[in-house]
Structure 1
């Protein structure tokens, strides 16, 4: 019995004295999900900032749902820093159709990586969540303390529950072991490397693909899901990557930090902007029989601003670069 009790007490040697400061550019840095939208942007940012020992594995090389494989990888590589950007993600259709997959896969990925990072002494870790963790009818703009104060949006509640579990695990590690791990909650992200597949994409890449294909086919009408009235905030993924590094070097606290622009547009407005950027001149109609999702999802980013960071890439500027990337890679992207 004594030995069982002893195992519940954190080893004081595991506690890290930490003051936010520039990270060591020569230390090993593992980006989990480094080929995804967010992970690839973080990888580019770290390279640009002079980090010389970046490591990552594709899902084919390392299945993060395989606990033994994850622990072996950490034992062999021993990273000092970790960003957990790996996740099973998708839009309303994918989340509504496969809720078990979104819950189970994300829980396993998170628990395996976070447990292995703890076991092998990772000093600094950033867990990436999603703004869908907040209640469907949260007061706008959504503050960090809105977490767990109301019902979730039912079209993506399984994914949201998994991400909430990740936040709580990071907080638990801080309490039990004193490690300076943190969480960041991005708003809707877009940019190079996004998922443009018809079945798995989020709203913005789905609209880019739909309008670009309409230009190519000469379609007179494009029909979008819902009413077009919900409001959404969009952040370019390169801005997100910059915010992640800023938080790793400047923030240490248990509460998740919202990352966004602080402004939003209606889905109809973003559709109109995308149609203009891609050069579509036909009509747009809306299928109100399809779900809208959350009426509004605008993050309060004052906490991040107080930490000294604000977004730099405007929406139309970001859309033009994303459309260009899509057209340059349309033959190779996920279908």
Structure 2
């Protein structure tokens, strides 16, 4: 199934997802992986991206490059989130098409679904309701990426596929105290609380929202699995639905339960408090992953084991991590 000789461009290879995809590709024997740093290729420049594709002869693309962040970052920098994500995906998808790249995988986000979507969220929930306001600009950009792929497939018979991951975590995550997602933010805070002997850690929100989490190595494995499915098999499982597939565990937990597991992983001995005056965000986000299971893939890393792995990576690399 795997064309290990294909020239594969992984956009965003230094990010959490992109680096995991590179690791997975290498483990499967891929020997012609192309990467570019931000200083080497400006993905916001249409001219630069087109010149890159024209010169490199790319065969497959994993589009993992994106501007990402948690509730605080999305609230503070909405223009940056919508502009940069729209430009990155439009430039890469169009350049891939213009240079006759037939296979591309676009990585989206579960925030594309309406705030009050029926749980678990099915692929056909897209565009059926109002988005969560705190990350609406980012979500709209990701929806546009799905529609770009779908439109190039319809008009030009391309094979551009989309996977919509649930909340991801793992090595190479962003551990900034304000601009990161919930798992890296909490791992860092509890780690520092242990180091400093702090008695109490306060967490935003009520602790009641339900969230689903997937280790990034599982996400990378799912991405490569979906990319290499026979086209008839993939099409049969995405039509008449929109051309995207959910990727997750199908299992969720409360933020309180997540925090209690992180307490266990980090060895924090103090008290947990929840600040209900802070926003909770979407009440529940759980993916319906039955379509992906029908395509022969399911997750393998439990939440506690994944958190241990992410925390180990942070402890070993936190001086160089994105803080």
Q: Please give the per-residue CA displacement for 1:279-309, whole angstroms capped at 9, x wherever unaligned.
A: 0010011111111100000000000000000
Residue of 256, 260, 272 corresponding to 2:248: 260
Tell me the CA shift for residue 144 of structure 1: 0.2
Does residue 140 in structure 1 map to residue 128 in structure 2? no
Tell me what 1:111 maps to. Answer: 90
SS at match of 1:222: strand
**Structure 1 segments (4+ residues) deviating >3 Å:** none
Tell me what 1:318 maps to. Answer: 306
CA distance in 2, matches of 1:232, 1:102: 22
Root-mean-square deviation over aligned CA pairs: 0.8
Tell me what 1:231 maps to. Answer: 210
Tell me the CA shift for residue 159 of structure 1: 0.1
Tell me what 2:262 maps to. Answer: 274
Tell me what 2:109 maps to. Answer: 130
Higher alpha-carbon Rg = 1
Q: Please give the per-residue CA displacement for 1:184-213, whole angstroms capped at 9, x wherever unaligned.
A: 000000001100011321011101001010
Q: Please give the per-residue CA displacement for 1:206-260, whole angstroms capped at 9, x wherever unaligned.
A: 0100101000000000001010100000000000000001101113445210000
Asked if structure 1 preserves the Cα contact closer than 8 Å seen for 2:178 and 2:185, the reply is no
Task: For 1:1-335, list aligned pairs within 5 A.
Answer: 22-250=1-229, 251-252=234-235, 253=238, 255-335=243-323
CA distance in 1, matches of 2:286, 2:32: 36
CA distance in 1, matches of 2:91, 2:121: 30
Tell me the CA shift for residue 170 of structure 1: 0.3
Tell me the CA shift for residue 63 of structure 1: 1.2
Q: Please give the per-residue CA displacement for 1:50-100, whole angstroms capped at 9, x wherever unaligned.
A: 000000111121110011100011011111100100000000000000000
Tell me the CA shift for residue 153 of structure 1: 0.3
Tell me what 1:12 maps to. Answer: none
TM-score by length of 2: 0.96
SS at match of 1:224: strand
Tell me the CA shift for residue 23 of structure 1: 3.2
Asked if structure 1 preserves the Cα contact closer than 8 Å seen for 2:204 and 2:280, the reply is yes
Q: Which runs of 5+ in 1 are unaligned?
A: 1-21
SS at match of 1:181: strand
CA distance in 2, matches of 1:217, 1:95: 29
SS at match of 2:18: helix
Q: Which runs of 5+ in 2 are unaligned?
A: none
Tell me the CA shift for residue 181 of structure 1: 1.1
